[in-house]
């Protein structure tokens, strides 16, 4: 079974917090979870959930319940069962990951904060460390660069750009630390470039060719299928 834990637009630290690789610290109105019903969240150190209407189940101050984003400026916590009022002060929210403890982790983070290589490194290391099984089965997909997909318009994310400088540093760090568990999609994607002048210019600039992207950063359907096959091969050759 494949589980998709991705959330559009999240940075690496938000994904880490949703995975209990780090924790968002939460404060609430009156510092106390009431005996029943919802209480307004007054602050979170990491913004999760990150989309309106989204919820996460978990524990706040030892009380099980639901953390919900109502709007960009409002979150609530609702305990699952009535109980004694519970003072929490400023407490970590521990996400309920029931059913997700085992299996192979495909860690693909950092696309939305690519220029902060140091923070992405910290979050990847935390995500690996947080895998609870004795044998840690994981693969890491490093972020890529892209840029313009308009015909004849050069990419702005080529060699020397902040995006590519950070991504290349992250690729090298990850490969040096985690070896061949790291799938470096950016250079790997060049084999799928067409003979078009735009694709060849993208490859020369060190970015994913635009024929393999659907917009400045997201991979297209064809490249996604190739990456999926690559992941399957990596899992099967390790007998995971």
Residue with the larger pLDDT of the pair 8 and 215? 215
List pLDDT tens digits, range 130-145. Answer: 999 999 999 999 999 9
Q: What is the DSSP letter of 203?
A: H
Q: What is the DSSP letter of 154?
A: P
Residue 13 scores a pLDDT above 90:
yes
Residue 103 confidence (pLDDT): 85
> How long is the chain?
240
Hey, what are 153's tokens?
Answer: 């318009």
Q: Name the average pLDDT for the chain.
A: 95
Report, as an integer, the average pLDDT of 24-42: 97
What angle separates helix 162-178 from helix 117-129, to the nearest 10 degrees?
30
Beta strand 91-95 with 24-28: parallel, antiparallel or unpaired?
A: antiparallel
Residue 2 scores a pLDDT above 80:
no
Beta strand 138-141 with 105-107: parallel, antiparallel or unpaired?
A: parallel
Residue 213 scores a pLDDT above 60:
yes
Tell me what percent of the chain is helix, strand and coil, each rounded to the nearest 5: 35, 20, 45
Give, in order, the Cα–Cα distances in Å from 24 to each of 41, 70, 149.
Answer: 12, 17, 37
List pLDDT tens digits, range 79-114. Answer: 999 999 999 999 999 999 998 778 899 999 999 999
């Amino acid at each position: 079974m494949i589980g998709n834990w991705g959330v559009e637009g999240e940075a690496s630290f938000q994904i880490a917090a949703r995975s209990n690789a780090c924790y968002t610290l939460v404060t609430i109105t009156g510092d106390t979870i009431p005996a029943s019903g919802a209480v307004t969240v007054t602050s979170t150190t990491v913004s999760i959930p990150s989309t309106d209407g989204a919820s996460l189940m978990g524990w706040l101050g030892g009380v099980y319940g639901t953390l919900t984003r109502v709007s960009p400026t409002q979150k609530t916590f609702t305990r699952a069962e009535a109980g004694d009022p519970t003072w929490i002060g400023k407490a970590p929210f521990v996400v309920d990951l029931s059913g997700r403890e085992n299996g192979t982790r495909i860690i693909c983070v950092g696309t939305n904060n690519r220029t902060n290589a140091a923070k992405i490194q910290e979050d990847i290391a935390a995500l690996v460390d947080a895998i609870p099984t004795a044998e840690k089965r994981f693969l890491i997909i490093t972020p890529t660069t892209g840029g313009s997909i308009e015909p004849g318009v050069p990419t702005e994310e080529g060699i020397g750009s902040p995006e590519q400088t950070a991504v290349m540093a992250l690729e090298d760090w990850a490969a040096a630390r985690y070896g061949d568990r790291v799938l470096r999609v950016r250079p790997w994607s060049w084999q799928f470039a067409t003979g078009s002048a735009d694709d060849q210019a993208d490859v020369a600039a060190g970015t994913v060719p635009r024929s393999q992207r659907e917009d400045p950063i997201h991979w297209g359907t064809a490249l996604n299928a190739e990456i999926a096959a690559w992941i399957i091969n990596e899992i099967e050759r390790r007998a995971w």
